[in-house]
Structure 1
Amino acid sequence: MLVLRAMTQDELEARLPVLHEEYADDELRAGRDRPETVRSNVAALFRQLLPDGVATPGHLLFSGVDDGGAVVGWIWLALPGAKRPQAWVYEVQVDPPFRRRGFGRALVLAAEEELRSRGVSELGLNVFGHNVGARSLYESLGFSVKSITMAKDLA
């Protein structure tokens, strides 16, 4: 059992450094940035996306809490708006001690219920091609591929 509760600003600030590092590493692995610029680009992106932290309009940040009261991870959603006609998953993170126990699935399913209660009818996300575990989770939850970006290293 897992419930969502609104994330506090302190919780978000504690999680952002890890998110920045992991996203920067993913951007490099995907070949979408250079080592000398990736960290500053990622920091700028997140400042743009969440200028007011947890109070940023149109964004929902939740901590996932298990039935014992432990925070097991978090999820960041954006509501439909001018940029996208559907809600969007920006991040799903399960904390290391709680991984491989179904909490990623539970976070997404709880988020879907939250969005349905708000009248949202579609949820989208991007996943890095090299993140096989996440891709498998999303496919098992009924997400389908809408587009594929491909690249070839010519070096």
Structure 2
Amino acid sequence: METPSIRIARPADQAALGELDRAVWSPLHAVVPAPQPPYDPFFDSTHRPEHYLVAEGEQGVIDGYLRLVRPTPLACNAHVRQIQGLAVAGHARGRGVGRALLRAACDEARRQGARRITLRVLGHNAPARALYEAEGFTVEGVLPGEFFLEGGYVDDVLMGRAL
């Protein structure tokens, strides 16, 4: 299995990232309704290209992305980065794309001077939780029944790790 090429997103990736985001939408990880046309732009003033790591496969096809940002604008929290979205295209699942994006996010967070990285994951998303745990993230808190999705209450699981 070849390690995917990971890079910072470019403005020209907007259409492909939007398409990928819509294709992978699932109640397993999304707390917002399924996207409907007309679609909002993928990038906006708070979701800028430099916030995204992109996994690029053969012929430049985008196989996945990860959003890495500061969790708050507070100076006292500047040492933390948060993963706020991870998506892998169906054709690329099981090929190490998610793992490569997580490892690249840790490297990028360190490069930015961070000492910690955190994320939130829905309690019922067992595949994502297993991947995060395999990459050194531990459960640091649980907000029980935080979301009501598809007729049931779902926990919001807070995970993190030192860098």
TM-score higher than 0.5: yes
Residues 127 and 135 of structure 1 are in contact (CA less than 8 Å); yes or no, is this contact kept in structure 2?
yes
Does residue 90 in structure 1 map to residue 92 in structure 2? no
Residues 2 and 110 of structure 1 are in contact (CA less than 8 Å); yes or no, is this contact kept in structure 2?
no
Q: Distance in 1 between matches of 2:24 and 2:96?
A: 21
Q: Distance in 1 between matches of 2:106 and 2:87?
A: 16
Cα separation, partners in 2 of 1:74 and 1:54, compared to 1, 3 Å: same
- Richer in strand (by share): 2
Residue number in structure 1 paired with 2:56: 65
Q: Distance in 1 between matches of 2:47 and 2:55?
A: 18
TM-score by length of 1: 0.69
Cα separation, partners in 2 of 1:150 and 1:60, compared to 1, 3 Å: same
**How many pairs align?**
139
Percentage identity across paired residues of the two chains? 23
Residues 3 and 110 of structure 1 are in contact (CA less than 8 Å); yes or no, is this contact kept in structure 2?
no
- Richer in helix (by share): 1
TM-score by length of 2: 0.66
Cα separation, partners in 2 of 1:23 and 1:108, compared to 1, 3 Å: same
Residue number in structure 2 paired with 1:12: 14
Give the alignment's Cα RMSD to 1 decimal.
Answer: 3.6
Residues 61 and 77 of structure 1 are in contact (CA less than 8 Å); yes or no, is this contact kept in structure 2?
yes
1:76 to 58, 67, 73: 67
After the TM superposition, which parts of structure 1 deviate over 6 Å for at least 4 consecutive aligned residues?
none
Residues 65 and 86 of structure 2 are in contact (CA less than 8 Å); yes or no, is this contact kept in structure 1?
yes
- Which ranges in structure 2 are unaligned for 5 or more consecutive residues? 154-163
- Which ranges in structure 1 are unaligned for 5 or more consecutive residues? 41-45
